């Protein structure tokens, strides 16, 4: 199971990635978590990373790609994974192709959630969570960055007919089930490659 999960902030990507990884016994590779840990431990030249994250901008492709390459190098070629938060730019998607040359095909899953629901969820999260980048202005910027930088990644995979769109506005268990199905090699029976929808 090699799954890439793509979706806007607030879509439930992190929660779903963790659940799918646990259920499938594969590692959950979350670039946001790796970057936050790196900043907290002071192990990386953290200033640029901290600055980008706290303003809702993206960390440089080079830094993030190196981090993902490092994680991949630790996995056997046959081991699956759930990749959460990467690729977020077309450059990163191209880099991921290179990283996947020795491995099998990827299931690229978009978690689609209507914008007003995203804003509602992020507002709720800000009230309960301690993430500094959930501040209202930063959230707005993260959504804008998603539209500007990450939507083209969806088009990149759509053009190859390899994007699977899952409705993220369903009960969490149903979302998990659909992502698991998308990552299953026999899932073709449920997938309409013309529309990219999984029903």
Residues annotated as catalytic (active site), given as ranges? 13, 88, 125, 131, 142
| Residue 53 binds to ligand ADP (criterion: CB under 6 A) | yes
Distance CA 2, CA 133 (A): 29
The CB-of-3 to ligand ADP minimum distance in angstroms stands at: 15
Minimum CB separation from ligand ADP for residue 179, in Å? 16
Contact call for residue 31 and ligand ADP (CB under 6 A): yes
Q: Is 59 in the site for ligand ADP (CB under 6 A)?
A: yes
Q: Which of 30, 10, 51 is nearest to 59 (CA)?
A: 51
Question: Which range in 29-37, 106-114, 155-163, 172-180 contacts ligand ADP by CB under 6 A?
Answer: 29-37
Closest contact distance (angstroms) between CB of 171 and ligand ADP is: 20
**What is d(CA 126, CA 101) in angstroms, rounded to the nearest whole number?**
39
168 binds ligand ADP (CB under 6 A): no
- Contacts with ligand ADP, residue ranges (CB under 6 A): 9, 13, 31-32, 35, 52-53, 56, 58-59, 64, 85-86, 88, 92, 133, 142
């Amino acid at each position: 199971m090699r799954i890439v999960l793509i979706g806007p902030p607030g879509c439930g990507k992190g929660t779903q990635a963790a659940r799918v990884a646990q259920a499938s016994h594969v590692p959950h590779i979350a670039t946001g978590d790796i970057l936050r840990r790196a900043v907290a431990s002071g192990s990386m030249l953290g200033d640029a990373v901290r600055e980008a994250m706290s303003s809702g901008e993206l960390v440089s492709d080079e830094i993030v790609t190196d981090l993902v390459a490092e994680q991949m190098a630790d996995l056997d070629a046959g081991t699956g994974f759930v990749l959460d938060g990467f690729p977020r730019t077309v450059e990163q998607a191209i880099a991921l192709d290179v990283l996947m040359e020795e491995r099998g095909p990827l299931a690229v899953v978009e978690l689609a959630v209507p914008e007003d629901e995203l804003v509602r969820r992020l507002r709720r999260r800000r009230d309960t969570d301690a993430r500094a980048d959930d501040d209202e202005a930063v959230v707005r910027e993260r959504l804008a960055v998603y539209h500007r930088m990450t939507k083209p990644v969806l088009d990149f995979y759509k053009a190859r007919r390899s994007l699977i769109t899952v409705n993220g506005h369903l009960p969490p268990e149903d979302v998990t089930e659909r992502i698991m199905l998308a990552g299953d090699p026999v899932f073709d029976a449920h997938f309409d490659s013309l529309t990219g929808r999984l029903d």
